Structure 1
Amino acid sequence: MKLDKVLSISGKPGLFELKAQTRGGFLAESFIDGKKIPVSMKNNVSILSEIAIYTYTEEIPLRLVFQKIFDKEEGKQSIDHKSSKKELTDYFSEILPEYDEERVYPSDIKKVLQWYNLLISKEITDFSEPKDEGQTADGLKIEDTKEK
């Protein structure tokens, strides 16, 4: 599973897998307890593949941060997200030395590490870039398949 199917829903703990689209939103399954919940368009939902971390020069996609953690930990869990603020910031500085300390809060670091550990526990380790939205399954651009 790629990160473009993994969701964070404001007010709900953990992460969710996008299962199906419904008339008023979509159906999501919790990674924590496996329960399926309906999610309406009123909910604040973030797709992990669309999240980025601020650095002093640019925004780094979350998937690249996960990949750096994965490489550092050799595919294992990272430090516990309940570690002290100093441990969290020191660890994150090792992973992403150029992260913007004024815009990336310890609570953000805690969430990133919690999400990473949850993904690893579910054996989701594909942090590659999602396929182009404008491509078909055979790799053709959608505009290439339209008649001119």
Structure 2
Amino acid sequence: MSLDKIVAIAGKPGLYELKTQTRTGFVASSLLDGKKITVGMRSNVSVLSEIAIYTLTEEMPLREVFAKIQEKEEGKETSIGHKESKDKLEEYFFGVLPDYDEDRVYPSDIKKVIQWYNLLIKNGFTDFSEPEAQTEEAVEETKEDVSEEK
């Protein structure tokens, strides 16, 4: 499972794993309770791999923020819950990402990041590394292997 297959759906709690595409949208499975739902094309859906957190210098992909939390928590769930006070959430997030932009990252964003991280860890998702992109060399080697088999 990669972050490319995990989505947040506006108006629905938790995260969902994309299962299959349909003519009118897609089928997703909830990471909270495992129930499958059909999501229409008009729904506001955010793919986790496309989300970034504002820092003072750049936008940091969510996968890198999750990796920093994982490093801090040694691969376990966070030591703080997403329902903690605003001050505690900001203090924790500052410990993970010291240069996050406090003017553009709201406490509600921090709550979501912590809640999503814990949900992913509970569901056995522990690899927050960048998916390996195929290099031109790998593509060429694949083409050579296919032409040799013919």
User: Shared fold by TM > 0.5?
Assistant: yes
1:121 aligns to 2:106 (yes or no)? no
Higher helix share: 2
Instruction: Tell me how large the CA RMSD over aligned residues is.
Output: 1.9
Runs of 4+ in 1 over 6 A off after TM superposition: none
Task: Return the alpha-carbon distance in structure 2 between the equivalents of residues 42 and 92 of structure 1.
Answer: 33
* Distance (Å, rounded) in 2 between the aligned partners of 1:109 and 1:21: 31
Secondary structure of the equivalent of 1:80?
Answer: coil
The Cα offsets for residues 14-44 of structure 1, whole Å up to 9 and x where unpaired, read as 0000000000111000001111111111000
Unaligned runs of 5+ in 2: 145-150
Q: Distance in 2 between matches of 1:67 and 1:124?
A: 11
**Is 2:34 the counterpart of 1:41?**
no
Which secondary structure does the structure 1 equivalent of 2:139 belong to?
A: coil
- Percent identity, aligned pairs only? 65
Amino acid at match of 1:12: K
Q: TM-score, length-normalised on structure 1?
A: 0.89
Is the 1:6–1:47 Cα contact (8 Å) retained in structure 2?
Answer: yes
Q: Unaligned 5+ residue runs, structure 1?
A: none
- Equivalenced residues, count: 140
For 2:39 and 2:131, how far apart are their aligned partners in 1?
A: 23
Aligned to 1:50: 50
Residues 97-117 of structure 1 deviation map (CA, whole Å, 9 limit, x = unaligned):
000000000000000000000
Contact 1:7 1:48 in 2 (8 A): yes
User: Whole-Å Cα distance in 2 between the matches of residues 84 and 125 of structure 1?
Assistant: 27
Aligned to 2:64: 64
Give the TM-score of the pair, scaled to structure 2. Answer: 0.88
